Amino acid sequence: MQLTRNHYPSRFMLPLLAAGLLFSSAAQGGAQDYQALSASVRSVLHRAVSDHAASRSAFGSQQEASAWLNVISRHLEKRIPDATSRMDFLNTVHFEATRAGLDPQMVLGLIEVESGFRKYAVSRAGARGYMQVMPFWVKEIGTSGDNLFHLRTNLRYGCAILRHYLKMENGDLYLALGRYNGSFGRPEYPNLVLTAWYKYRDTARRADTQNITPSTG
């Protein structure tokens, strides 16, 4: 089941950061703390990140896909100028987020905050790629040679790790995001992601009210 706004705790309704606070262009760091995993959890996460290409779309229909992709693509033109790369990125985000039971708009918000949509972003802590995944996860749950700068690999790891933290925190996104970013218990990072998520959510809603044809950039 995909998470929606109604699933989140009331503290998400606390005042967000001041309106003048701007998103940094620097990688925010996804510095997840290393914690030993049980064999069963490691097995579940290993299956979750197994790198098989998406065999199908997660959209309900081609019309739904065209509308969502077009609206979000226009919003990201300055971030990812190449139209083909942008569409590949968005299709992969939507599939991997949905596969993990996450809202694709929330994942876009997390990516904006974590890496600013930079594929090869590296944080001071060493986190890599769009979703700023720490390299120790490859040894823990992946396969030797997994490339965290590869689009699908990075998103699959990132979504699986966030889902893991959500389970760990009984669905509490506030706490899960804190674990994901290595800022557990502090409000700044969850509020940044929430602000960005709402922006993409509102952008995506326009796809439901407009008759749109796919953008070619």
pLDDT of residue 52: 64
State both tokens at 171.
Answer: 């669905």
The pLDDT tens digits for 71-129 are 999 999 999 999 999 999 999 999 999 999 999 999 999 999 999 999 999 999 999 99
pLDDT of residue 33: 65
Q: Are 23 and 113 in contact (CB under 8 A)?
A: yes
pLDDT of residue 39: 73
| CA 171 – CA 34 distance, rounded (Å) | 20
Residue spans of the domains in the chain: they are 32-47+59-208
C-alpha pair distances (Å), 192 with each of 52, 168, 181: 31, 22, 11
pLDDT of residue 213: 47
pLDDT of residue 54: 58
pLDDT of residue 20: 33
| CA 215 – CA 80 distance, rounded (Å) | 14
Q: What is the 8-class DSSP label of residue 68?
A: H
C-alpha pair distances (Å), 152 with each of 16, 39, 41, 46, 54: 31, 25, 22, 15, 9
| CA 28 – CA 123 distance, rounded (Å) | 6
Tracing tokens 């009210």 back to the chain, one arrives at 209
The chain-wide mean pLDDT, for the chain, equals: 81
CA 206 to chain centre: 21
Query: At the top level of CATH, which class does the domain 32-47+59-208 belong to?
Result: mainly alpha
DSSP string, 90-113: HHHHHHHHHHTT--HHHHHHHHHH
- Backbone dihedral angles phi then psi of residue 128, each to the nearest 5 degrees: -125, 145
Which residue from 121, 115, 70 is spatially nearest to 94, judged by alpha carbons? 70
Q: Which residues of the chain have pLDDT under 50?
A: 1-26, 211-217
pLDDT of residue 164: 94
State both tokens at 4.
Answer: 């929606």
